[in-house]
Chain A
Amino acid sequence: MNSTSPAVEMKDIVIEFPGVLANDHVNLTLQEGEIHALLGENGAGKSTLMNALAGLYKPASGTIRVRGELVSFNSPRDAILKGIGMVHQHFMLVPTQTVTENILLGLNEPRFVMSLNKFDQKILDLEEKYGLFVDPTTKIWQLSVGEQQRVEILKTLYRGANILIMDEPTAVLSPREIDELMETMRSMTDQGKSIIFITHKLGEVVDIADRVTVLRKGVVTAEGESMKGVTKKDLAQRMVGREVIFTVERESHELGDVVMEMTDVSALNNRGLPALKDVSLSVRSGEILGIAGVGGNGQSELAEVITGLRKCSGKIFIQGEEISNQPPIKAINRGVSHIPEDRTAVGTAPSLSLTDNTIMKGYKKHPIGDGWRINFQVAQKHTSKLKDKYNIIAPSVNTPAGKLSGGNLQKLILAREINCEPRFLVAMQPTRGLDVGAIEDIRALLLEQRSHGAAILLISEELEEVLSLSDRIAVISEGKIMGIVDSEDVDIDKIGMMMAGMQEIRE
C-alpha cells in the first residue's frame, strides 16, 4: 500500500501435515526488487511455505501480507490476481502445445478464435524486455529444459506477476543454462520484480541472492540475513546443523576382495540429460562406501545402473562378472540387493500381502520356490520370522503392505534385501522420513551386514548418516565424483564444499 511496505511479509506461518509440522512459525519478508534465497535441505519445508504463498495450501495459522495488504488465498488464481507467480520445479506445461498456447492457457483472451500471430508478437515483446528468448510458435516438447523454464517464467510475467517464486529452478539446468537464468533474474529485478529463489545449492545463493532465509526441519535458522559477509561455511552450518551424531560402534576390520567395481560409467536421466559422468568406484567386502551429495545429482541413476534398471555406458562388475546393461535378474542372481529410493512406487506392491512382498526377490529359491510352485506355508513362516526379527509392526503376515507405516515398510524392504545375505547392497536413502528409533535400527542392520562381509554402497542425502556409517566417502555433484575421502580424517566443511560442486577447497 505504501512505498515502504515489503513486497511480501509472511509471519508466524504454521503448516501441518498428518504427523509432520512442515512449517513451525516461519517468518519471511521479501523486499521490493530483491532476490531472496530460501535455503534448506530436502524436506525442510521450503516448498510448503511457498505453496502457501502461491495459494495451493492454506496455513493453519499466521498471516500473509502482500505490499502491506492482508491477504487470504483460496486458490492459485487468487495469488495470481495479487501478482504472485510460481515457477514450479516440475514444469506445468502442455508438451504438445506451442509456447504461446501454454502462456495463454486459462486466460479469457482471445475470445474464441486463436489468432495467435498477434499474441506471438506480444510474447516476443515480453521476451525482449526480460531477455528470455524462445520461439513462441515452437511446441514445448521440442524445447530444451532451459527453454521450457523460460516459458514457465514468461507465463507468470504475462499474467503481470511482479512477485516470482522460483522452486529449485536450477535443479534441472546445465551450468550454462544456470548462468543464463541468473542473468534473467537480475534483469527482472532491475525492472522492479521481486524474486524468491528456492534452492539447496550454496554456491548459487552466494552468487545471486541479496538476502537469505534458511529453513531447517520447518524452523527458520536464518531470517532474511543480508548476504554481505556471509560465507558458504556459515550457510552450510545453518542448513545442515550440527546434530547429535548417533553413537554407532563401527569396529574396524580387515577388508576383503573387491566386490563391485565400476569404471567410467555414464548414464542419462529420464529427461535425456547426462546424469552420471564417467563415474568410477569400487567397493570391497566388509566396506561401506558412502555417497554424499545434494539430492538430484545423479544418485538415483547410480543406484539404477548397478541394479540393471537403467542403461549406461562403461562397465560394472560384480565379483568379476559384468552386469552393466543386463536385465535386473542378472544382478539379483549375482547377489546384489537394493533398497530403492521410492518405497511405495518401486520397493513394494501395495495391495499384496506382507508375505508376497517379502518373497519378491527370493520366490524362485528353495525352499520358498519349489519348481513351478511357491510354498506359501514356508513363505509365511519365513515372513513371520522376519517380522519378529526386524520388529515389523503389522496385524499379520497377510496384511497388505500398503497399510504399513513408512518405517515398517522400510524395515520390510530391508528385511527382504538383507536376509538373503547379499554380497553387495545398494542402500538408497535408507532412513529418509523415518523416526529416530527406526533410523537407529536400520543403521545397526547396515553395520551388521558390513561385519558379515557384505559390500555396501550407501547413498544418502543425510550427510551425518554417511559420515557415521561409511568407511570411505565419495562426494557426488552433477553426476561427477568430486573426491573420495577416508572417514577417519574427514572434515565436514570440506565435504560440504565438495557437495556444492567445488573440487578442493582453497581458503
Chain B
Amino acid sequence: MAFRIRTEQRVEVPKWLPTATSIGSVIIAFILGGVIFKIVGGKPLQALSFFYQAVFGNWGVFSDTLVKATPLIIIGVACAVAFKMRLWNIGAEGQFYAGAFGASLVVLVPLVPLDSPKVLVIGMMMLMGMIFGGIWGFIPGYLKAKYKVNEIITTLMLNYIIINWNNFWIFDQWSDRGFQMTATFDRVAWLPRLADYAKEVKAFSGVTLHLGVIFGIIAAIIVWWIFRYSRWGYEIKLIGDNPNAARYAGIDISKNIILVMAFSGALAGLAGMSEISGVVHRLQESISPGYGFTGIIVAWLAKLNPFTIIPVSVLFAGLIVAGREIQPTGLSFLLQGIILFLLISSDVLIRYKIRLVRVDKETE
C-alpha cells in the first residue's frame, strides 16, 4: 500500500486562508531565520528580544522604525499600483532617487526663493519630486506601450542611470566642500518633525518622526480610493485580471500602461523627496538601503492592499533598523527573502487542496 500526494483545484477559497498564509509565512520565516542564525553561532531568542527592543522598545526607537517605514509605505503603494496591472515596475529605487534629485533642485538651484514660506518650498519640492519620479516611470511605460520593451530591464537600467546622474551632481556641481554630498538644506526645506515641537510637548524631544509618514498614509488612502471607487482603478484592475476582456470593454491599454507607470514613478519620487526633506536634509550618495526593492516585497506581502502595506512596512522597517543593530547585518535580507518565498509558495495552498490519497496497486 502506498500513499501519494494529490492536488485538487479549490472551488471555494475560505476567507481566512490568504491572511493565514501571509501571517504563517512571516512566522515560519522567523523560525527558519532563527535556525540559520543559530547555525552560524548566534543566539536567536536573544536576538529576537534585541530585535524587539531595537524596533519597538521605546518611543525613540519606534519613531526610528516609523521613519524607515515611511519610504516603504510610499514605495509599497507605488508598486501596488503597477503590480495591480501586472506591470513589473522594479525601478522604484531609481524613481526614488529621481524624486530626491527633483526635490533637491528646488533648494539648490533654487527654484523658489528660500525666504518663501515653508509651505511653498515644501510644496514645490513635492511637486518636483513627483515630476522627476514620474518621468522616470514614464520612460519605461512609454517604451513598453510603444515598442513592447520589457519593463523589468528598463526600470532596472534606469536605476543605475539615475544613481550615477545624482552622483555627478553630488560629487561635482553641488558638492559641499569636496564632500560627496550637497550642503545641508536650509531649514525651510525640512519636513516638520515631532522633535520640532519638543518645546510644546516634552515627550517629542528627540523624536525623529517627520511629516513624510502622513504622505505615506495619504498615498495609501488615495490609492485605496482609486482601487476601490474610481473609474481608473477599475480599468487598472480589469487590465490586470484579463487584458483581453479590458480590450473588449473598450479600454485603451497602451494609454494605461504609460499612465500607471508614470503614476507609480511619481509616488516613488515622492518617497525620495520625503526622505531627503525629512531625514537626510541633503542630497547624498546612499539615501536608500534598497527601499525600492523592499517596497516590492512589502506590496506583495500586503497582497497589493494599500492599507495592509502600512503595518507590513513597519515590520520590514523593523527588519532594516534591527539589521543595523544586530549582527550579522544580512539577517534582515534573509528574513525578507524567506518571507517572500514562503508567501508565493503558499499560494499553492490557496489554489489547490492538497490531499494524501492511498494508491491501490491495480490502478497504479
Contact = CB atoms under 8 A, between A and B. Distances in A.
Bind each other: yes
Interface of A: 307, 309, 327-329, 331-333, 338, 340, 345-352, 356, 359-361, 363-364, 369, 372-374, 376, 403
Nearest to A357: B245
Contact of B231 (A307, A346, A348, A373): A373
Given A328-B250, A403-B11, A349 B242 contact: yes
Interface of B: 11-12, 228-232, 234, 237-238, 241-242, 244-252
A351 B244 CA distance: 14
A329 B250 contact: yes
A348 B242 CA distance: 8
Nearest to A342: B244
A309 B244 CA distance: 10
Contacts of A376: 228-229
A418 to B, nearest CB: 16
B170 to A, nearest CB: 40
DSSP majority for the B interface? helix
A349 B238 CA distance: 7
Contacts of A328: 247-250
A356 B250 contact: no
Contact of B241 (A332, A340, A351): A351
Contacts of B242: 345-346, 348-350
A345 B247 CA distance: 11
Contacts of B250: 327-329, 331-333, 361
Nearest to A352: B241
24 contacts: A307-B248, A309-B248, A327-B252, A328-B247, A328-B248, A328-B249, A329-B250, A329-B252, A332-B250, A345-B242, A345-B244, A346-B245, A347-B248, A348-B242, A349-B241, A349-B242, A352-B238, A356-B234, A356-B237, A359-B234, A361-B250, A369-B231, A373-B230, A403-B11
A332 B247 CA distance: 11
B248 A338 contact: yes
Given A348-B242, A350-B241, A360-B238, A373 B249 contact: no
A364 B232 CA distance: 10
A376 B233 CA distance: 12
A332 B250 CA distance: 7
A360 B246 CA distance: 8
Q: Which 4 A-B pairs have the closest CB atoms?
A: A329-B250, A349-B241, A349-B242, A360-B249
Contact of B245 (A327, A329, A348): A348
Contact of A372 (B231, B237, B252): B231
A363 B244 contact: no
B229 A347 contact: no
Contacts of B251: 329
B247 A360 contact: no
Contacts of A350: 241-242
A363 to B, nearest CB: 6
A79 B202 CA distance: 83
B234 A374 contact: yes
Contacts of B241: 349-352
B245 A360 contact: yes
B228 to A, nearest CB: 8
B12 A403 contact: yes
A321 to B, nearest CB: 16
A493 to B, nearest CB: 37
B6 to A, nearest CB: 16
B234 to A, nearest CB: 6
A351 B13 CA distance: 12
Which of B228, B234, B252 lies at the interface centre, i.e. has the most chain A CB atoms within 10 A of its CB?
Answer: B234
Contact of B237 (A331, A346, A352): A352
B231 A374 contact: yes
Contact of B244 (A332, A346, A369): A346
A462 to B, nearest CB: 23
Contacts of B249: 328, 332, 360-361
A350 B238 CA distance: 10
Given A350-B242, A360-B238, A374-B234, 18 more contacts: A327-B250, A328-B247, A328-B250, A345-B242, A346-B242, A346-B244, A346-B248, A347-B248, A349-B238, A349-B241, A349-B242, A349-B245, A351-B241, A352-B238, A352-B241, A369-B231, A373-B230, A376-B228
B245 A374 contact: no
A249 B155 CA distance: 61
Contacts of A349: 237-238, 241-242, 245-246
Nearest to A304: B248
B289 to A, nearest CB: 35
A329 B249 CA distance: 7
A241 B195 CA distance: 85
Nearest to A416: B249
Nearest to A351: B241
A327 B249 CA distance: 10
A254 B250 CA distance: 33
B229 A374 contact: yes
Nearest to A308: B250
Contacts of A352: 237-238, 241
B232 A347 contact: no
Contacts of A331: 250
B248 A340 contact: yes
A331 B244 CA distance: 16
Nearest to B225: A373
A363 B245 contact: no
A349 B229 CA distance: 18
Contacts of B252: 327, 329
Nearest to B237: A352
A374 B230 contact: yes
A309 B237 CA distance: 20
A18 B36 CA distance: 47
Nearest to A361: B249
A172 to B, nearest CB: 22
A348 B228 CA distance: 19
Contacts of A327: 250, 252
A309 B238 CA distance: 17
